[in-house]
Amino acid sequence: MESVSILNADLHCHSVVSDGTMTPEDLAARAAANGVELWALTDHDEIGGQQRAAAAAHAHGMKYLTGTEISVTFAGETVHIVGLGFDADDPRMKQGLEETRGGRGARAREIAAGLAQVGIKDAYEGALKYVGNPELISRTHFARFLVDIGACKDTNEVFRKFLTDGKPGYVPHRWASLRHAVQWITDAGGIAVIAHPARYKFTANEEYALFTEFKAHGGRGVEVVTGSHTAAEYVKYADTAREFGLAASRGSDFHSPDESHTDLGKLPYLPGQLTPVWELLADRIR
Ligand code: AMP
Ligand code: MN
Ligand code: MN
Ligand code: MN
């Protein structure tokens, strides 16, 4: 029998319901065309696209897992926790996500005020033009606006020059706690997964604390193969998964054909000798 690792699963991407540029339906079509067999849409702090995504997945013959990517504050940094296979009607989960989205409007106004200080006017109104979901204005929408007015050549440059710590459009923000995010997902029947761990600017001790506390709260997975990791980081986090007894996930983190360097379904397979998250979620796959 083929190893269960050999499955074209893509369990991380974004639609217009958060900061992606494609609809759930168009993403499903693209995933299927790229050979994805098991798919999850994981919009930031939002599950409003889940029904559409599941229906579109089924129309294209793909299996589907519910998904979201929750913004969490841990040790003063923003960490992303992907939830997979939860009940999308769970009231506590819905309320938790709503609270997490809550501060985004005020934060966006502060981002715009910071940008105004360096001569970029009306960025709030500008960013809003790119927003598909009024509850989910994100830094990505500001980045698209700044590229379109010619302030930077691409969104990466916008983040580097304007939207990260110490830059004029950076606003520190308090998201959900790690404990709550893991609990919401787990209590709704899903599993919590640490997203793209190589992206956080943690010391070795802080990273160890993240994984230890995540496990203690009931977290069960880690992204090993993601569009945010290098090949060396696949190996590193495969080791971390084994060390902490976590299942491994795979996802492109696709946002847009113009911005994302990793397309849906185009990542390497998971390394062997890891438990894929979809093995733990067999009874949640639709
Ligand atoms: P927010 O949730 O509003 O803080 O926005 C975070 C989003 O910005 C992430 O999910 C990414 O899509 C995007 N992002 C973060 N850092 C970068 C970067 N350096 N370059 C491009 N996009 C980024
Ligand atoms: Mn994003
Ligand atoms: Mn993320
Ligand atoms: Mn993401």
- Mean pLDDT for the chain? 97
Ligand 1 binding pocket includes 71 (Cβ within 6 Å): yes
Ligand 1 atom nearest to CA at 138: 3
Mean pLDDT along residues 154-181: 98
For the Cβ of 68 lying below 6 angstroms from any atom of ligand 1, the answer is no
Q: Which atom of ligand 1 is nearest to the CA of 155?
A: 21
Q: Is the CB of residue 155 below 6 angstroms from any atom belonging to ligand 1? A: yes
Q: For residue range 186-241, list pLDDT tens digits in order.
A: 999 999 999 999 999 999 999 999 999 999 999 999 999 999 999 999 999 999 99
User: 73: burial class by Cβ within 10 Å (0-12, 13-18, 19+)?
Assistant: middle
User: Is the predicted pLDDT of residue 120 greater than 90, yes or no?
Assistant: yes
Q: Which of 282, 269, 277 is CA-nearest to residue 35?
A: 269
263-273 pLDDT, tens per residue?
999 999 999 89
Entry pTM? 0.98
Nearest CA to ligand 1 atom 17: 159
Atom 4 of ligand 1, nearest CA residue: 139
Indicate whether 83 pLDDT > 70. yes
Report the alpha-carbon distance of residue 124 to residue 122 in Å, rounded: 5
- For residue 1, is pLDDT > 70? no
